């Protein structure tokens, strides 16, 4: 995983919106994605290209239609490296507090 590309891709609100749209309904063509964005197809294509470069979106051709799919693997890798370790400590503290309050 290229974390810099993933974080760069996630830094933009339009790209996060595209990921949200694909999460709601995976496998959408560009035209359908553009219906939910206030931008030209060319701009949406550029954003999708950055998401593809970060491996957050993959594409499949179905006839003449290019479908876009979310790839959750890089997001999971970010979660494992950057979020989970902090979450583990917080949950451990909550567990200790619960034991103390319950008198265990």
Taking only the tens place, the pLDDT of each residue in 18-61 is 999 999 999 999 999 999 998 899 999 999 999 999 999 999 99
Under 8 Å between Cβ of 68 and 57: yes
Which pTM value belongs to this model? 0.80
Distance CA 19, CA 16 (A): 5
Distance CA 64, CA 25 (A): 20
What is the domain-level CATH number for residue 65? 1.10.10.10
Q: Which domain holds residue 32?
A: 3-101
- Give me the number of domains the chain comprises: 1
The mean of the pLDDT values for the chain is: 91
Contacts of 16 by beta carbon, 8 Å cutoff, 6+ apart: 10
Q: Which residue has the tokens 């760069």?
A: 8
pLDDT at position 104 is 61
């Amino acid at each position: 995983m290229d974390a810099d590309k993933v974080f760069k891709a996630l830094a933009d609100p339009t790209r996060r919106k595209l990921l949200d749209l694909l999460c709601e309904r995976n496998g959408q063509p560009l035209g359908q994605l553009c219906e939910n964005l206030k931008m030209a197809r060319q701009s949406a294509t550029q954003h999708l290209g950055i998401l593809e470069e970060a491996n957050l979106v993959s594409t499949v051709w179905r006839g003449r239609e290019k479908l876009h799919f979310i790839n959750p693997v890089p997001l999971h890798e970010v979660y494992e490296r950057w979020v989970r370790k902090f979450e583990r400590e917080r949950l451990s503290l909550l567990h200790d507090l619960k034991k103390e309050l319950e008198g265990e």
